[in-house]
């Protein structure tokens, strides 16, 4: 078990548990419309990545009899405007309450992404990786929720070759802009062809409706929800549509889905840059030499030099070799800046993280010595690669209105002025540029939550850290203003989301989930 756990520990990341999927076999369709869940042992029959990840068979086989774990799926309409039309399968895994304390009900959990699999977290938990707190799992069955297109749910399918062939997101000439739009479009059209009707309905409005179908099928009354990162966007939309059906809702690492492109970008590049500076300071002051080899060195300058060097000549990534390689054989400035952002997500390694900030320090050090393997961009290898939903869902949820190369350059110039180290390269930027030419509508465009609906919602606990590399505190404030009943709890620290850290913030989240106790407004905690 230990090897598998350390394997998982090195793989799982909080934001996007995207490198390892352990799907259950999908069970036979129930009667139509399906109104209850039929739980079965999870199995590994459809596990698509077993070969590439080299997980030992004996550990995988444990899934079928892992304690407290089971799997189910639910048939849901592809298009909620046509509920009698085509259906797809919403897959899920459940980690059952310990039985040692009073069971309060079911908590539905989503780790974010878009593209992160909740089912995978339930499976990880059952195999011994503490992704949920003991207090949570003493009192709740936790259902790991996989949105449409993700994980155990009917997957988004795309051509990995077309994904890997997409053009640079930093066009500086008309021809490069056209190449970008055309390569995005070609990849998207491949997804549409392979996925079918579901492709046009990957937006989060549809996901929130799926979640209501799940709540009804659980059959225990209101929805208890713990959403991290993108999971906050699912939760807030659910609360807008079904305010009277909200039970205990926690939103951790908040997305404000009301912003224009430049506002969203501005907040994100600022918080990424700010957290990078927290990392620089940590390296220079708090970290041991083993954790960060840049003591008494001017890391900010070295970082800038690395980016400039990679811009001139991409840095080799010899560890990415293979056929097909799992990452690009070299890393450009663009690759490095996209990949540093998620490496800031967890400061200290926790079970659900990769290697924490020490891992980032190591990756930078190796890159400065000519080996950028750890900063190279991942490549897709499979038709259901978990890399895909991130972009496809983003394209359905966020506008991407640049019409020319100069539209992109103005945006970047603004970002570079504000964030000279990270230069605007960020998740918001990726969505705004990688979705140009996308062959599906923006079905869930950014807008403020409906104040009349939100006025009906019961208390919601929001949590955000001050130095979050991905979801800015500015977004948390913006969302708080749209949820009159929200209490915002602040963690005075770095990193994206707080529940998985198991600190004082987790204890306050549990106090709300389990005891119904909300903290006062404006509490700031250190861990
Ligand atoms: C299902 O899982 C339980 C443990 O949770 C185990 O005892 C049982 O043998 C499993 N059933 C099958 C058919 O594998
Ligand atoms: C949580 O429970 C497990 C098993 O019951 C135990 O091994 C572990 O130490 C507990 N964790 C904490 C933080 O108390
Ligand atoms: C690193 O820390 C030293 C001592 O505290 C300080 O003098 C120096 O300016 C710091 N370097 C950077 C780049 O922050
Ligand atoms: C490059 O770095 C990777 C990741 O640390 C390592 O696995 C690989 O052996 C290194 N390759 C060379 C040629 O140094
Ligand atoms: C956060 O912590 C830092 C030092 O650890 C402190 O200087 C600062 O005042 C704190 N901020 C808040 C809002 O508590």
pLDDT of residue 59: 66
In which band, very low, low, confident or very high, does the pLDDT at 139 lie, cut at 50, 70 and 90? very high
Least confident of 70-74, 268-272, 310-314, 337-341: 70-74
Whether 524 lines ligand 5, by a CB cut-off of 6 Å, is yes
Spatial contact of 432 and 400, defined as CB atoms under 8 Å apart: yes
- Digit-coded pLDDT (tens) for 163-186: 999 999 999 999 999 999 999 999
pLDDT band at residue 45 under the 50/70/90 scheme: low
Identify the band that residue 352 occupies on the pLDDT scale cut at 50, 70 and 90. low
67 lines ligand 1 (CB under 6 A): yes
Question: What is the Å distance from ligand 2's center to 144 Cα?
Answer: 20
Task: Single out the residue of 88, 69, 68 nearest to residue 78, CA to CA.
Answer: 88
Cα-to-centroid distance, 372 and ligand 4 (Å) = 8
Could you tell me the distance, in angstroms and rounded to a whole number, from the CA of residue 421 to the centre of ligand 3? 18
pLDDT band at 323 (very low <50, low <70, confident <90, very high): low
Report residue 492: phi and psi, to 5°: -85, 80
Tell me how crowded residue 430 is: count the other CB atoms within 10 A of its CB.
17
Is the C-beta atom of 492 inside 6 A of ligand 5?
yes
H/E stretch holding 525: strand 524-525
- State mean pLDDT over 322-332: 85
Please list, residue by residue across 37-49, b when 16 or more beta carbons sit within 10 angstroms of its beta carbon and e when fewer do.
bebeebbbeebbb
Q: What is the pLDDT of residue 355?
A: 82
CB 455 less than 6 A from any atom of ligand 5: no
Distance of CA 26 to the CA centre of its chain: 24
- Distance (Å) from CA 360 to ligand 4 centroid: 15
Q: Which of 40, 65, 93, 96 to mutate to test the pocket of ligand 1 (most atoms within 8 A of CB)?
A: 65
Does the structure show a pLDDT above 90 at 406? yes
Cis geometry, peptide bond prior to residue 324 (ω within 30 degrees of 0): yes
- Ligand showing the shortest atom-to-Cα distance for residue 299: 3
**Is it the case that residue 418 has pLDDT exceeding 70?**
yes
What SS3 class is residue 358? helix
Ligand 5 atom index nearest CA of 466 = 13
Ligand 5 atom with minimal separation from the 490 CA: 13
Q: How large is the average pLDDT for residues 391-420?
A: 97
* Dist. CA 13–CA 67, nearest whole Å: 23
Q: Which residues pair with 433 in a beta bridge?
A: none
pLDDT at 8 over 80: no
Decide whether any atom of ligand 3 lies within 6 Å of the 284 Cβ: yes
pLDDT of residue 53 exceeding 90, the answer is no
Determine the average pLDDT of the residues in 342-346. 96
CA-proximal residue: ligand 5, atom 7 (nearest) = 492
Closest ligand to the CA of 94: 1
In 37-191, the DSSP E strands lie at 69-77, 87-95, 105-110, 140-145
What value does the mean pLDDT take over residues 489-507? 97
Cβ of 373 less than 6 Å from ligand 4: yes
| Per-residue pLDDT at 5 exceeds 90 | no
Ligand 5 neighbourhood includes 165 CB (under 6 angstroms): no
Q: Are 85 and 79 a contacting pair, CB within 8 Å?
A: yes
- What's the pLDDT at 325? 73
Ligand nearest to C-alpha 365: 4
Which pLDDT score, from 0 to 100, does residue 55 have?
53
Instruction: Please enumerate in sequence order all residues whose Cβ is within 8 A of that of 273, keeping only pairs 6 or more positions apart, or say none.
Output: 418, 419, 420, 421, 422
- Of 122, 135, 113, the C-alpha closest to 39 is 122
- Residue 11 reports pLDDT greater than 90: no
pLDDT at 61: 72
Sheet of 460-467, strands arranged across: 69-77, 87-95, 140-145, 105-110, 223-228, 246-252, 460-467, 486-494, 524-525
Minimum CA distance residue for ligand 4 atom 9: 319
Question: What digits encode the pLDDT tens for the residues 143-164?
Answer: 999 999 998 999 999 999 999 9
d(CA 28, CA 197) in angstroms, rounded, equals 21
Per residue in 155-179, is it b (16+ CB within 10 Å) or e — as a string?
bbbbbbebbbebbebbbeeeebbee
Percent of the chain with pLDDT over 70: 89
The more confidently predicted of residues 308 and 57 is 308
Cβ-based neighbours of 515, under 8 Å, separated by 6 or more? none
CA 453 to chain CA centroid, Å, is: 27
| 64 CA distance to ligand 1 middle (Å) | 6
- Of 361 and 63, the structure prediction assigns the larger pLDDT to 361
Instruction: Decide: 82 and 488 in contact? Cβ < 8 Å.
Output: no
- DSSP classification of residue 245: G
Overall average pLDDT of the 476-481 stretch: 98
Q: What is the pLDDT of residue 34?
A: 66
- Single pTM value for the model: 0.92
Mean pLDDT of 306-329: 91
319 CB near ligand 4 (under 6 Å): yes
pLDDT of residue 51: 42
> Quick one: which atom of ligand 3 is closest to the CA of 281?
14
pLDDT of residue 405: 97
**Would you state the pLDDT for residue 295?**
87
The band of 4, judged by pLDDT with boundaries at 50, 70 and 90, is: very low
Ligand 1 atom nearest 68 alpha carbon: 5
For the CA of 66, the nearest ligand: 1
Taking CA atoms, 267 is separated from 274, 306, 422, 511, in Å, by: 11, 25, 13, 31
d(CA 110, CA 117): 7
Q: Return the HEC string of 167-220.
A: CCCCCCCHHHHHHHHHHHHHHHHHHHHHHHHHHHHCCHHHHHHHHHHHHHHHCC
In whole angstroms, give the CA distance from residue 136 to residue 513. Answer: 7
d(CA 433, CA 415): 14
Query: Is 319 near ligand 1, meaning CB less than 6 Å away?
Result: no
Q: Are the C-beta atoms of 19 and 381 separated by less than 8 Å?
A: no
In this structure, which residue's CA is closest to atom 9 in ligand 1? 65
Average pLDDT, the chain: 90
């Amino acid at each position: 078990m230990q090897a598998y756990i350390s394997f998982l520990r090195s793989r799982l990341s909080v934001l996007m548990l995207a490198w390892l999927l352990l799907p259950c076999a999908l069970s036979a369709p129930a009667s139509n419309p399906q109104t209850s869940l039929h739980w079965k042992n999870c199995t590994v029959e459809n596990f698509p990545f077993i070969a590439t990840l080299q997980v030992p068979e004996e550990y995988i086989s444990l899934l079928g009899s892992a304690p407290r774990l089971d799997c189910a799926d639910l048939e849901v309409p592809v298009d909620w405007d046509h509920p009698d039309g085509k259906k797809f399968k919403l897959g899920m895994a459940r980690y059952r309450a310990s039985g040692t304390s009073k069971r309060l009900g079911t908590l539905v959990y989503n780790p974010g992404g878009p593209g992160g699999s909740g089912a995978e977290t339930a499976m990880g938990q059952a195999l011994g990786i503490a992704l949920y707190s003991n207090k949570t799992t003493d009192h709740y069955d936790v259902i790991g929720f996989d949105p449409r297109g993700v994980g155990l749910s009917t997957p988004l399918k795309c051509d990995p070759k077309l994904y890997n062939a997409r053009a640079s997101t930093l066009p500086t000439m008309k021809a490069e802009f056209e190449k970008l739009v055309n390569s995005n479009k070609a990849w998207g059209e491949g997804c549409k062809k392979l996925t079918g009707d579901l492709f046009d309905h990957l937006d989060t409005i549809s996901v929130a409706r799926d979640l209501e179908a799940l709540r009804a099928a659980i059959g225990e009354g209101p929805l208890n929800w713990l959403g991290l990162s993108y999971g906050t966007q699912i939760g807030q939309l659910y609360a807008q549509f079904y305010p009277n059906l909200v039970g205990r809702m926690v939103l951790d690492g908040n997305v404000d889905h009301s912003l224009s492109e430049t506002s969203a970008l501005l907040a994100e590049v600022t918080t990424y840059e700010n957290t990078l500076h927290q990392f620089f300071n940590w390296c220079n002051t708090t970290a041991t030499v083993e954790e960060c080899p840049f003591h008494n060195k001017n890391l900010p300058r070295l970082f800038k030099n690395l980016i400039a060097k990679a811009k001139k000549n991409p840095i080799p990534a010899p560890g990415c070799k293979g056929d097909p390689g799992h990452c690009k054989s070299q890393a450009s400035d663009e690759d490095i800046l996209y990949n540093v952002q998620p490496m800031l997500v967890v400061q200290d390694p926790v079970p659900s993280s990769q290697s924490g900030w020490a891992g980032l320090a190591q990756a930078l050090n190796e890159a400065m010595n000519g080996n950028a393997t750890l900063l190279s961009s991942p490549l897709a290898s499979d038709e259901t690669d978990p890399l895909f939903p991130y972009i496809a869902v983003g394209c359905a949820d966020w506008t991407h209105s640049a019409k020319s190369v100069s539209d992109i350059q103005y945006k970047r110039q603004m970002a570079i002025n504000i964030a000279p180290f990270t230069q605007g390269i960020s998740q918001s930027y990726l969505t705004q540029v990688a979705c140009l030419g996308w062959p599906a509508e923006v079905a869930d465009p950014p807008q403020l939550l409906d104040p009349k609906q939100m006025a009906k919602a019961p208390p919601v606990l929001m949590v955000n850290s001050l130095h979050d590399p991905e979801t800015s505190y500015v977004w948390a404030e913006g969302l708080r203003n749209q949820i009159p009943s929200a209490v915002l709890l602040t963690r005075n620290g770095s990193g994206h989301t707080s529940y998985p850290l198991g600190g004082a913030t987790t204890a306050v989240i549990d106090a709300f989930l389990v005891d119904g106790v909300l903290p006062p407004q404006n509490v700031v905690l250190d861990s």
